[in-house]
Amino acid sequence: MEKHMDLKEFAEKTAAYVRNALPAELAGAQVRTASPDLWADGPHEVLLVIRPWINAAAGFRLDGWQEVIKPKWICMEEFYKTPRRCVISASMGEFTPFPDIVTVPFLLISRLMAEVAEMYGEPVFKRDVIIINERDKQSRHYHLILPEAIGHGSALLGESHLFYMNIDKQKELVVSQDYAESILRRGAVGIALKEWDMKEGRHDGK
């Protein structure tokens, strides 16, 4: 006989999944569930704000980017001025991993995140950026993203898995639960996910 989970069990299993998916350096992080009521009207109404994990952001800084990419170019009218491929150096802490998302000074997502977006059929307007850790000469492939080309979370809500949205008077990158689970399964690091209830317009814990 098929077993159906109640909301509390679903929330607990989701938290356990996220906890088990954390990389080794985050093994001690606390993972808490939101109120099961957030799933009461269907999981599609619960979205996740995705940001750099605060510790990863503190230990990661792009250097010399002003000579390569001008922030004013990152708009629909001037995106053509950005180089199709460029190399930028980064200062990183000794134990800081390459994060899968960078938001300062502009939005960069890892190849992993871009590939998952494409897997879900999300159009991503991007440029190739290679970031080099000057300390140990390791590098990682990223994509400079044009936020205007990402869905804005209105007409696309329920269909889009990756979009920009105005939340609490600021632009936030928002992903679906399916997208978040997909990048975690693939080993995404240096990210923080915060639940946001579209119906109620509220953050978990607020």
Domain boundaries, the chain: 7-203
What does the alpha-carbon distance between residue 110 and residue 33 come to, in Å, rounded to a whole number?
Answer: 27
Nearest to 164 by CA among 173, 175, 177: 173
DSSP conformational letter for 135:
T
Question: Which tokens is 44 given?
Answer: 């599609």
Q: Are strands 138-145 and 108-110 parallel, antiparallel or unpaired?
A: antiparallel
What does the alpha-carbon distance between residue 52 and residue 102 come to, in Å, rounded to a whole number?
Answer: 6
pTM of the model: 0.71
What does the alpha-carbon distance between residue 68 and residue 152 come to, in Å, rounded to a whole number?
Answer: 28
Mind listing the pLDDT tens digit of every residue in the chain (206 residues)?
455 556 566 666 666 666 666 555 555 555 554 444 444 444 445 688 999 988 777 889 999 999 999 989 988 899 999 999 999 999 998 888 999 999 989 999 999 999 998 888 877 778 999 999 988 889 999 999 887 776 544 434 446 788 888 788 788 888 888 999 999 999 999 999 998 866 555 555 33
